[in-house]
Amino acid sequence: MPQIVTNYIELHICRKTADACRFLLLKRSENSKIYPGIWQMITGTIESHENTKQTLLRELSEETGLTPESVYSIPRINTFYLAVSDKICMSPVFLAFVESEKVKISEEHTEHKWASYEEARELIHWPNQVESLEVIMKYLSDSEMFSKLVEIEI
């Protein structure tokens, strides 16, 4: 029977420009054991000695070299099946705002792209992660709704 685990995170990165919001997408290396070559946001595992906030900051730094200006919890949990370990995974969704557009990708990825919302919707591989982006855009498009998001103190 598969185990249910809750030690994963999904972190969307946004940079506001004069005309729109841009979302950072990372292309997984073709040498990745799982999901090679797909475009995604930051995903990662909460290590046993970490809390969620520490994981968000570590993953952002490791995978992009960026520092967040602010981080918000999005009221959404993604679930997925990880076949390589026979686990059902639950992953809370977060949104980080950054000012810098200078990204230093890790060996996990081969490319990065600052994408418009529309382009990000087309490039992101998994439908549930596209749905997360759609939820995020609802909040970004409505200042009253956005004001109700929980900001994570960093």
Between CA 113 and CA 28 the distance in angstroms is 12
pLDDT of residue 70: 98
User: What's the pTM value of the predicted model, to 2 decimals?
Assistant: 0.95
Average pLDDT over the chain reads 96
Which domains does the chain carry?
3-152 (3.90.79.10)
pLDDT in tens, 62-71: 999 999 999 9
* pLDDT band with cut points at 50, 70 and 90 for residue 31: confident
Share of the chain above pLDDT 70, in %: 100
pLDDT in tens, 49-82: 999 999 999 999 999 999 999 999 999 999 999 8
Average pLDDT on 127-145 reads 97
Q: Output the CA torsion sign for 35, 36, 38, 41.
A: positive
Residue 32 has pLDDT above 90, yes or no: no
Between CA 123 and CA 118 the distance in angstroms is 9
